[in-house]
Structure 1
Amino acid sequence: MIIGTFSFLLACIGFILSNSSTMSSNPCIVKVGCVGVGSVCEKKSLPGIYKNPSCSVVALGRRDLPSLLSYQSRHNLSSATLFHGPSSGEDLIRHIAELKSLDVASGSSGVHHVVYVATPVSSHAGLVALCGELGLHCYCEKPLSRDLREGEEAARKFRGGDARLWCAYYRRYLPKFEAVKEGINKVGEVTGVRVTLRQKRHMMEEEKKRHWHFKKDVSGGGLVMDLGSHVVDLIDHLLGPLLGVHGVCSRSTSLSPGGPSIEDSVVGTWWHAPLSGGGGPVLGSCELNFAAGEDVDEVRVQGTRGCVGFGVFDDNPGVFRGTGGEEEVLGYEHLGGVQEHVHGRLFEAIVEDLREGKKECFNNAESALRCNEVLDKLLGGRREWGEDKMVK
């Protein structure tokens, strides 16, 4: 009897220790609610989140119930609570806040609650602000807002509290750009950067021209906002904040969608603080033209010992070219297509960010607001929403 009891106690101790070991190796549990379950959630974002062993998708929200039910079924998220209708975003956020209160009351430790805002840009600021008011972490699609003023008002709700705000500029964490960032170290002192992005996207079929990206009140301003934000954030990540920004913008052709206030091309200049050495500011420039007759995607970072060239939106590796004619491909791990779960590595960084003392995520509120400020300056000033005009 004593031997049996002793064996039972040993088994219990072994069970506790084994579970303690498992918990210590993967202690962070992140409960995620997604607002605005649409096309971006099919491959690019949400699968990379729910496949993370530390994450669980507990709520899904979208105005259209049939589409929401279809998504839930296709992605095997049967345990997620569904919210639909005009107030689905606010209802889901308050639901996540209730779950947090229940977890806190039950003494659950190491549990974090994150709302993923994947709606069109016009609703970002209000939903992000509500997360901040309720003390919930928020992961917001890019850009953070239609302009800097909106973004600052939303981010202000997170100041002084424990809740964190991140923005989904996932390119910072893709292996291609990690290799490019390392490759920039080979160019010596950086002396300049030039961005050229030309696409035919504004001359698409009429059906595609009705997309919300081309409704200024909804998106903030066409593809300059949607794709240009990725460009600006990536340059910020690779070379530091863009300072002294000046820009001119235009709707250069009547073929562009979205009405007279949707810009299809931008030319801008700026400077960066010196990355190393005793040189002066590093000058930068960009040409973003979405009504071009050709496709060009090229960034060139010049230095005293060579340059690094790469594309922002293609899936080719960057290349270092030295002043002596040498050439090196900046190899990187191919993830099976640029659209395949590209948010996954960024969300891994967020999970690590939530584990105290692990690793701070690059994509914070400050970097997202810097991006909005640059976009405002490239586009000539803050927009007045609801009116077809620019406000200087």
Structure 2
Amino acid sequence: MKEVNFGIIGCGNVTEVKSGPAFQKIEGANLLTVMRRNEEKLIDYAKRHNVPKYTTDYLELLKDKDIDAVYIATPPNMHHFYTLEAAKYGKAVYVEKPMAMTVAECEEMIQVCKDNNVPLFVAYYRRGQDRFNKVKELIESKDIGEVRSFQYFYTSGIPKTDPNRSWLLSKEVAGGGLLYDIGSHMIDTMIYLFGEVKQATGISCNQSKALNVNDVTSGIIQFKNNIQGSIQLSFNGNEKRDELTIIGSKGSIKLSIMSYDNLSVIKEDKSYEIEFPQPEHVQLPLIKRVVNTLLGKDNYDTSGVYGLRTQEILETFENSTTIKY
């Protein structure tokens, strides 16, 4: 294979800038077809993004022998269905996060992709970005000594309803609401930085009653290397905070996860900041790894298991329970 031809199922807001253009800008990738049920919006999208083929029928896309891989960018309640369908037609899958609505759905997605010998990637795109790879490098090189613990705090106000994105607050469509939408990025980032999880426990509730999903969550994660820390998420506060502190035996690292503030490294002998501008297309670095893996030029994880691990912890937090591995 010299080029990977992609089809997109679901071309909503996330595909406009964050992800969609990447498939046309990465060497070795080509965006061949887009699918959306709303024909008027579909045609508009295809024309604006210069996509040669479009359809309202997902089966037409999946049956196209020229399509090698499918990017599933629908709301979470359809991730499971389209992943299974794509796998049955032998298409590599790049699915938006959170991976699915439930752990059981994630497990079936992994199994069906394995049975059909197709790669499964989950769009936790911070894994591809330079700023998080720099943090991973600092941890692995022991720049701040042995990592002992971490603390993450995120708070925002009660979200205003956007008619085009109201599904984000729907338990039926988005699962755990903002915990699943935003919190999934945070949990996956911890797994990416610190490794395999040993156990996790959490408590969560709908404090404000302004939404039909939980809006406050507190969790603790311990990793198999005995790094442990806390995560505090609040979607009903009166200020905006986004702070991850990684504490080592010889220093600490501070950064945000959802925004692009400077990365701070604090040590006894010196302290400094590193600037990482926000990429124009935030998913492009990860999609590039996906493309190169499909072309045999990289070895990014094709199992989807990291998406399952994040889902397990999301459910653990949401249901105020404990999970051990």
Interval containing the TM-score (normalised by the shorter chain): over 0.9
Superposed counterparts of 1:151-300, under 5 Å: 151-184=106-139, 185-200=142-157, 202-204=158-160, 206-207=161-162, 211-254=166-209, 256-257=210-211, 259=212, 262-274=213-225, 281-300=226-245
Larger helix proportion of the pair: 1
- Who is 1:377 aligned against? 316
The residue type equivalent to 1:70 in the other structure is D
Deviation, structure 1 residue 74: 1.0
Q: Which runs of 5+ in 1 are unaligned?
A: 1-26, 101-112, 275-280, 383-392
For 2:169 and 2:40, locate their aligned partners in 1 and report how far apart those are by CA, in whole Å: 25
For 1:183 and 1:121, locate their aligned partners in 2 and report how far apart those are by CA, in whole Å: 34
The residue type equivalent to 1:178 in the other structure is N
Distance 1:209 1:50, change over 3 A: closer
- Who is 1:309 aligned against? 254
- Who is 1:366 aligned against? 305
For 1:209 and 1:37, locate their aligned partners in 2 and report how far apart those are by CA, in whole Å: 13
Q: TM-score, normalization: structure 2? A: 0.93
Name the SS for the 2:220 alignment partner. Answer: strand
Q: Which of the numbers 284, 290, 314 marks the counterpart of 1:350? A: 290
- Who is 1:36 aligned against? 10
Deviation, structure 1 residue 273: 2.0
For 1:114 and 1:193, locate their aligned partners in 2 and report how far apart those are by CA, in whole Å: 37
Q: Which of the numbers 268, 272, 275 marks the counterpart of 1:328? A: 272
RMSD between aligned alpha carbons? Answer: 1.9
Q: TM-score, normalization: structure 1? A: 0.77
Q: Which runs of 5+ in 2 are unaligned?
A: none
Q: Percent same amino acid at aligned positions?
A: 26
For 1:319 and 1:351, locate their aligned partners in 2 and report how far apart those are by CA, in whole Å: 32
Contact 1:28 1:351 in 2 (8 A): no
Distance 1:189 1:210, change over 3 A: closer
Contact 1:219 1:225 in 2 (8 A): yes
Deviation, structure 1 residue 325: 5.8
The residue type equivalent to 1:116 in the other structure is Y
CA displacement, residues 152-171 of structure 1 (integer Å, 9 cap, x when unaligned): 11221112443100011111
Displacement over 6 Å in runs of 4+: none
Name the SS for the 2:66 alignment partner. Answer: helix
CA displacement, residues 49-93 of structure 1 (integer Å, 9 cap, x when unaligned): 11123111111100111111111111122x22x211xxx334422
Deviation, structure 1 residue 131: 1.5
- Who is 1:104 aligned against? none
Q: Which of the numbers 116, 131, 137 marks the counterpart of 2:86? A: 131
Q: Which structure carries more relative contact order (alpha carbon 8 Å, separation 6+)?
A: 2
